[in-house]
Chain A
Amino acid sequence: MKLYLKIWRQKNAESKGSMVEYTLDGIENDMSFLEMLDVLNEGLINKGEEPVEFDHDCREGICGTCSLMINGRPHGPDSRVSACQLHMRSFKDGDSIVIEPWRAKAFPIVKDLIVDRSAFDRIQQAGGYISVNTSGRPVDANAIPIEKELADASFAAATCIGCGACVAACKNASAMLFTSAKVSQFALLPQGQVEASERVLNMVRQMDLEGFGNCTNTGACEVECPKGISLENIARMNREYLSASVKG
């Protein structure tokens, strides 16, 4: 198939970027979206131009590195996939595809389609853990039975891959889904209870400091999340936060 691409090009964080158009032919249905970009880049390199830089690594939808806004949607038109799992069979001959980086003040652009998501790391550093020493001798793993339902819900929240699609999709560039997924994972487990209050307060404080927007419950994040992280997590975080604030 033949495609008309419009891609955001930006030399580095400081420079001003712009959309650049490319025409690409010979794309096959079986290719992944990133393989399509590989073909584009191979062509650019052979012409002596600089290839389009984009973040990617595992290419199997789990590392969360790829981060492309494709035709106005994070990770493109397919649901429950990240861009690396999107295949060209989702497009047809003659399509125009607009490819942009995530847009958020908290995610500054590094180059072309690559953004800096270290804000997410800092939110996790603010409290996304249980303070137990790895070098210590914890109790036996089966000492505390945990209801299967809770363990499953905790797991579901923990499957977040930290790609940032929630922020990219949200009209407010809010990071609530991301933050709440981690808060929920621990809030649902007995091990996480001890530091629950401190954790939610610290993580939300950091989230605000990073300059993310405010959640207005549009639900766009949940729809675009490649792992289907639920909005329930946001409600849970709100609740945790309220009770933690009241406790003071």
Chain B
Amino acid sequence: MSGLISSSLARKVVMALSGLFLVFFLAQHFTINITSVIDPETFNVWSHFMGYNPIVQFALQPVLIAGVVIHFVMGFALELQNRKARGINYAKYNGGANAPWVSRNMIWSGLVVLAFLGLHFYDFWVHEMSYKYVDILPEDPTRYHAETVAKFAPFWRTVLYVISFVLLSLHLWHGFASSLQSMGVNNKYTPAIKKFAKIFAVVIPLGFAFIALYHHLNPITY
């Protein structure tokens, strides 16, 4: 088993699995978030469920955090190993001739997304934690929509979110399909699956950006 973890292929698989898990999480996250635009009531109900269900809070949430941590720690480790594998750099290296920019710069799109996660955690998760466990305020199943919309009032935050979603899209554009390759998926369905991955990579981040912009442009005025 230790051999498995030190092997380059196993690391690829770890990257792929954690990535796929995060892709799944994104889909779930997006499904809830889009209700904030369509129907604030539903959004409140689901958000409350996610915030107070013990399974979500004490089982799924740690798994998610672990997934994120594994994905970026492994990503860094691989990046360092890969840079070392070149040894001396080329005086002239025309990487653009044989591979798309996104695939060669996953570390940068990933870092932006990671930085964004910091902000996002600060905005929502830290807020939730202090609401529930520091200030110990009472449960209020109706507060989520208003709080969310209020977050997008500042222009700078909306812009940062939108930029991050663009980078997330780039990251997914390569990463989603790539994770399937790493898992060894290759059969007659592969082209269709890869197409789906590309559509996902565009639609989901675009949707998140839309939500952010929507709330920025439609502040609650009561």
Contact = CB atoms under 8 A, between A and B. Distances in A.
A and B in direct contact, judged by CB atoms within 8 A: yes
A231 interface: yes
Contacts of B103: 216-219
Interface in B173-206: 174, 177-178, 181-186, 190
B64 to A, nearest CB: 24
Nearest to A172: B82
> How many residues of A sit at the interface, in one of the four size bands?
35 or more
Interface in B9-55: 9-13
Contacts of A223: 97-99
28 contacts: A69-B90, A103-B89, A105-B85, A105-B87, A171-B82, A171-B86, A172-B85, A204-B7, A205-B7, A212-B8, A212-B85, A213-B84, A213-B86, A215-B8, A215-B12, A216-B106, A218-B103, A219-B103, A220-B95, A220-B99, A224-B98, A232-B186, A235-B185, A236-B186, A237-B9, A238-B182, A239-B184, A242-B13
Given A103-B88, A217-B178, A238 B82 contact: no
Interface string B62-98: 0000000000000000100110111111111111011
A216 B186 contact: no
A238 B6 contact: no
B7 A208 contact: yes
Interface in A129-163: none
Given A208-B6, A213-B82, A216-B82, A171 B183 contact: no
A240 interface: yes
A236 B85 contact: no
A177 to B, nearest CB: 12
Contacts of B87: 103-105, 173
Interface string B85-121: 1111111111101111001101000000000000000
Contacts of A242: 9, 13, 183-184
A238 B12 contact: yes
* Chain A to chain B: the 9 pairs with minimum beta-carbon distance, closest first: A239-B184, A72-B94, A213-B85, A172-B82, A238-B184, A235-B186, A223-B98, A218-B99, A218-B103
A191 interface: no
B3 interface: yes
B4 interface: yes
